[in-house]
Chains A and B, each alone.
Chain A
């Protein structure tokens, strides 16, 4: 046990503390977002970068984000891959199981419709052929910093959506993100 603590101490704190000033005082989802990831036929490159987010360099949970197993607990649906026809039904079911407010993020070139598998008999070509996509994060694969930035924009998007669905009175929103 002592040796484990010694190694952990030696490793120290890594990576850059993610600056999220843009989120300060702007929406109730500042605190956290639960993410459900679905691989809709990706080559596994994007998954490697998502897994890298779990490492000590990226402080995923410090940013308030965590991955969940059930779509019923999720706020964000993170989709990778060009949406193979064989995954379309499962992806649709996952989205349908998510409660409002929910945001769909298309991660990687394939999900954004600009990957090498878009024009195939076996794929739909992009996530937006099946689901409404709120945010696109292209890259082959996009580095973890880009993924984190996209997830933070997703949190802001959730804040906007939750305000619009929560009350019927109109409120002009001063956060001008898309």
Chain B
């Protein structure tokens, strides 16, 4: 892996901390922060996440995680103890805006140049001068549940416009969030989201925990992506401990991740059909999903595969009978899904609702730096599994699923394509599973070090960055791809009618709990 020449300018020092996928680590001064961002943007790179870290007397750190042409880059901007501000990246990467507001809420560090002064994750629970990730003790008496603080929504001027506030309690069984629509008759002129209702203070809960105990917490940041988070977390700890996993363990982890993807896609496709008025789709797809979940419970011990990924490998090994069961059910589902796919593609009523609804063109997707499932539906050809092919995808290749138009129908099509690819991939793995142990024991937990783990969750790249000090977690940041996708939803709904919102929202199906932390 060759370092590109612009890395070696006097910006700072960079080194490769992981080979597969390639992750670079660097530190640089505030003067170069925006320059680095611009350079990466020009290359066509992306900002995956930006977060902060308090360091007691040593000041603070601002961390950013990028995708560049030579791999991922984890870059840190150290702030001395007396400096409480850092240059904003929101003019370079629009998705940095909310994340920097969250840094302000949790750490009290001010992003200079960020246009939005409103809090993001802080509603009423703590006052503005209290910073939960920068204090050792938070006195109980300053915490509150007082309804709404004064949050000024963007209000477009114009006659005949009316406002519809929706949430945080929604009509269906869905996570809480607030959506403020500005409408002209039925048509949505503007949507503004306000999230943070699910904020549980997870990052603070990680602090002080031993790495093995915190794995359970990592798997519950977002319950529908439990495997993705647990794997990313385990990968981060394993990189600090410098452990090599067996091929079998990696294959089994991959199997869990793909089954999680399968379960979510099937549920989403059914829900999309249902939201468009075709309950038949919901019944048929939930039937298959339920069989998948029951098989998960029987073979892996948990319907949603929570706690199956463990440090050093996986908790469960599969015998010949289990592998055969998986292969048979996979083939049976594929046959049923092929029939359903054809049937639903040709259903005129469904097409009418899905096609040209909630579109994000390829150009706009590139502007937002979209990736993951929703990005692939808008022609953004990025998939960690196919591009860097980290283990086990080096041994069992996966193909990328793409669509062009970026509407709800495209996100439907990508899901269906990924479902078929997941099933075929799964059949390949169970037919060619290598021998060996499913789990490597950790001889001793690492005392100090930092690590980052990443995998392609079903929404997009999930990563966990952590730092261990004296055998305990000093800082852990689990990152959901939804941070970068929620702002895009606001754009996707414009020009559609309010009644199409559930469909568009469901076609993205972004995480509230993962974003709110």
- Decide whether A and B are members of one complex: yes
Q: Which of B123, B169, B289 has the most CB of A within 10 A?
A: B169
Tell me whether B164 is interfacial, beta carbon within 8 Å: no
Q: Which of B357-378 contact A (CB under 8 A)?
A: none
The listed residue (A40, A50, A56) touching B283 by CB distance below 8 A is: A56
Categorize the interface residue count of chain B. 35 or more
**Which residues of B sit under 8 angstroms from A82, Cβ to Cβ?**
200
In the complex, are the beta carbons of B175 and A122 less than 8 A apart? no
Q: Which of A49, A55, A87 has the most CB of B within 10 A?
A: A55
In the complex, are the beta carbons of A57 and B200 less than 8 A apart? no
Q: Which of B105-139 contact A (CB under 8 A)?
A: 123-126, 132, 138
Interface string of A50-65 (1 = CB under 8 A from B): 1110111100000000
In the assembled complex, the Cα of A56 lies from the Cα of B145 at a distance in Å of 39
In the complex, are the beta carbons of A143 and B303 less than 8 A apart? yes
Given A87-B168, A122-B132, residue A56 in contact with residue B286 (CB < 8 A):
yes
In the complex, are the beta carbons of B176 and A87 less than 8 A apart? yes
Given A56-B283, A116-B216, residue A7 in contact with residue B340 (CB < 8 A):
yes
The listed residue (A52, A89, A121) touching B147 by CB distance below 8 A is: A89
In the assembled complex, the Cα of A122 lies from the Cα of B201 at a distance in Å of 5
Interface string of B186-203 (1 = CB under 8 A from A): 000000000011111110
Tell me whether A37 is interfacial, beta carbon within 8 Å: yes
In the complex, are the beta carbons of A88 and B145 less than 8 A apart? yes
In the assembled complex, the Cα of A46 lies from the Cα of B513 at a distance in Å of 12
Tell me whether A17 is interfacial, beta carbon within 8 Å: no
Tell me whether A43 is interfacial, beta carbon within 8 Å: yes
Interface string of B492-515 (1 = CB under 8 A from A): 000000000000000000011100
In the complex, are the beta carbons of A54 and B282 less than 8 A apart? yes
In the complex, are the beta carbons of B222 and A44 less than 8 A apart? yes
Q: A112 → chain B, closest Cβ, in Å?
A: 15
In the complex, are the beta carbons of B339 and A7 less than 8 A apart? yes
- Tell me what chain B mostly uses at the interface: helix, strand, loop, or mixed: loop
In the complex, are the beta carbons of B144 and A85 less than 8 A apart? yes
In the complex, are the beta carbons of B224 and A11 less than 8 A apart? no
Tell me whether A3 is interfacial, beta carbon within 8 Å: yes
The listed residue (B138, B146, B173) touching A67 by CB distance below 8 A is: B173
Interface string of B160-177 (1 = CB under 8 A from A): 000000001101111110
In the assembled complex, the Cα of A41 lies from the Cα of B197 at a distance in Å of 7
Interface string of B317-338 (1 = CB under 8 A from A): 0000000000000000000000
Q: Which of A56, A84, A124 has the most CB of B within 10 A?
A: A84
Tell me whether A45 is interfacial, beta carbon within 8 Å: yes
The listed residue (A57, A121, A143) touching B138 by CB distance below 8 A is: A121
Q: Which of B198-222 contact A (CB under 8 A)?
A: 198-202, 204-205, 216-217, 220-222
**Which residues of B sit under 8 angstroms from A40, Cβ to Cβ?**
176
In the complex, are the beta carbons of B223 and A46 less than 8 A apart? yes
Tell me whether A149 is interfacial, beta carbon within 8 Å: no
**Which residues of B sit under 8 angstroms from A121, Cβ to Cβ?**
125-126, 132, 138, 143, 201, 204
In the complex, are the beta carbons of A43 and B173 less than 8 A apart? no
**Which residues of A sit under 8 angstroms from B126, Cβ to Cβ?**
121
Tell me whether A14 is interfacial, beta carbon within 8 Å: yes
**Which residues of A sit under 8 angstroms from B175, Cβ to Cβ?**
39, 42, 44, 47
Q: Name the residue on A nearest B344 (C-beta).
A: A4
Given A85-B124, A85-B125, residue A141 in contact with residue B304 (CB < 8 A):
yes
Tell me whether A123 is interfacial, beta carbon within 8 Å: yes
**Which residues of A sit under 8 angstroms from B224, Cβ to Cβ?**
44-45, 48
In the complex, are the beta carbons of A14 and B287 less than 8 A apart? yes
Tell me whether A8 is interfacial, beta carbon within 8 Å: yes
Tell me whether B226 is interfacial, beta carbon within 8 Å: yes
The listed residue (A37, A81, A86, A119) touching B173 by CB distance below 8 A is: A37
In the complex, are the beta carbons of B284 and A86 less than 8 A apart? no
The listed residue (A48, A56, A120) touching B201 by CB distance below 8 A is: A120
Q: Name the residue on A nearest B142 (C-beta).
A: A121
In the complex, are the beta carbons of A43 and B132 less than 8 A apart? no
In the assembled complex, the Cα of A48 lies from the Cα of B263 at a distance in Å of 10
Q: B233 → chain A, closest Cβ, in Å?
A: 13
In the assembled complex, the Cα of A90 lies from the Cα of B176 at a distance in Å of 10
In the complex, are the beta carbons of B284 and A7 less than 8 A apart? yes
In the complex, are the beta carbons of A52 and B176 less than 8 A apart? no
In the complex, are the beta carbons of B176 and A41 less than 8 A apart? yes
Given A39-B175, A47-B173, A90-B176, residue A84 in contact with residue B283 (CB < 8 A):
no
In the assembled complex, the Cα of A158 lies from the Cα of B139 at a distance in Å of 40
In the assembled complex, the Cα of A81 lies from the Cα of B223 at a distance in Å of 11
Tell me whether B148 is interfacial, beta carbon within 8 Å: yes
A-B contact sample (13 more), CB < 8 A, given A8-B280, A48-B267, A143-B297: A4-B343, A14-B287, A44-B512, A45-B304, A47-B175, A54-B282, A67-B172, A87-B168, A87-B176, A90-B197, A121-B125, A121-B126, A121-B204
The 23 sampled A-B contact pairs (Cβ below 8 Å) are: A7-B280, A7-B340, A8-B283, A38-B176, A39-B198, A40-B176, A41-B197, A42-B175, A43-B220, A43-B221, A44-B224, A45-B223, A45-B224, A47-B223, A48-B223, A48-B267, A55-B282, A69-B171, A85-B123, A121-B125, A121-B132, A121-B201, A122-B132
Partner-B contacts on A (CB < 8 A): 3-4, 7-8, 11, 14, 37-52, 54-57, 67, 69, 81-82, 84-91, 94, 115-117, 119-124, 140-141, 143
Nearest 7 pairs between A and B by C-beta? Answer: A45-B223, A55-B286, A122-B201, A88-B145, A85-B125, A69-B171, A43-B223
